[in-house]
Every structure is written in structure tokens, then in C-alpha cells.
Amino acid sequence: MSDASDNKSPPSDVGYRRPPPRTRFKKGQSGNPGGRPRKKGPAVTDMAALLDAPVKLRQGGRAKTVAMKEAQLRAMLKKAMTGDLEAVAYCLQQFDAHGAIAMPELEQGGVIHIPKTMPIGMGTLLVQFFGRPKEKTATGVPIWSADQIAIARERYLASVSDDERNDDLRRGYPDLEQR
């Protein structure tokens, strides 16, 4: 038996989990020298130039060149006219951003003196529907027009119960009497 074992080559360090020495990693050298490739960043696009780029449209049978942004706004206006609420909201936002519509200035706070000639509920309806009165008497009591008071009287009487109406008539508010 000793003769058979003498004929074999010396045992090598090659086998399971032992690669040949020439393919092993060198000391101090990475297995991936290039490393992981870097991610590409976002594509840089000149949005202003893109939105100002000319686009050809057909309007009334004629070809017309307009900016991309204008073409988009025209398309959204067309969708808004069909009742698309998202398109309406977008158009209103664009109009507001570009100063195409002006929002009314609302008065904030303050006290409104309701004349003693009408119930508080009727005065509240006047303020809700017609806003603050434009004129006041010398004592500072607000004055609404006779037409405005008539409309408020009608709506007030339609909204109160019979008991409240009788209470108000008993108190004798002159503005509740039909003229």
C-alpha cells in the first residue's frame, strides 16, 4: 500500500470552498474593482423652453402656431366647458395665478347694528343676502332699500314658526308690517 500512495502527486489546497491560488482574490484587492455603477440623476430639462415651444393648431380651418402652454390651456378650457371639475379647478388656478380674475375684497369683522324696527333674524338675512348697508342714518343705524327689506321680510316670515311670528308681531316691529 505504501507504493500506491507514493505514486500520487502531493495534495493541493483545491476543492470545495478552496479555489485554485491563481483565481483567488489578491490581498487588499476588491472582488469588484469597478464597484457598483452610480445611478443616473434626473434628466435635466428646460421646462420653460419646452412650454414655450411652438405647436401648430387648427382653429376654424386655419393652422395657427401657439406656445405649448397656450395649447394646453385651450384644451383644459374645452374640457372645463364640458363640465370636468378637475379642468375647471385647474383653469381657475391658472386664471388666479396670472391675474386674469380678481377676487372681491371681503370686509372682515366688525359690528353691524340692526335697526330696532326689525327682528334680529330679519337683519341677519339682510346682511347675508345684501351685505353691509351702504348708508347709515345720523345716529349710525344702517339703512337698506325698501326692496331689500321687502325681500328679507318675505324670506324671514317663510322661515320662522307661527309662534315666533306671533311673538314678533306682538312686539310690534314696524318692518314686519307689509306696506
- The mean pLDDT value for 15-38 works out to 84
Q: Hey, how many other C-beta atoms are within 10 angstroms of the C-beta on 143?
A: 13
Q: Are strands 135-136 and 54-59 parallel, antiparallel or unpaired?
A: unpaired
- What is the pLDDT at residue 87? 93
Which pLDDT score is estimated for 11?
57
- The better pLDDT of the pair 143, 78 is held by 78
Cell numbers found for residue 110: 366688525
83-127: pLDDT as tens digits: 999 999 999 898 888 888 876 676 666 777 788 888 888 888 888
**Each residue's pLDDT tens digit, 145-163:** 888 888 888 898 889 898 9
How far is the C-alpha of 76 from the C-alpha of 48, rounded, in Å? 19
pLDDT of residue 84: 92
Residue written as cell 309662534? 163
* Backbone φ/ψ region at 149: left (φ over 0), alpha (ψ -120 to 50), beta: alpha
Look at residue 2 and tell me whether its pLDDT is greater than 70.
no
The number of CA neighbours under 13 Å toward the Cβ of 33 is 5
Give the count of alpha carbons within 13 A of 96, CB side only: 8
Q: Which pLDDT belongs to residue 78?
A: 92
Mean pLDDT of the chain: 82
Q: What is the pLDDT of residue 107?
A: 62
What is the pLDDT at residue 33?
Answer: 77
At residue 17's C-alpha, the angle toward residues 29 and 25, to 5°, is: 10
Give exposure, 10-30, as e/b (b: 16+ Cβ within 10 Å): eeeeeeeeeeeeeeeeeeeee
What per-residue confidence (pLDDT) applies to 65?
92
- Determine the straight-line distance between the first and last CA of the chain, rounded to whole angstroms: 138
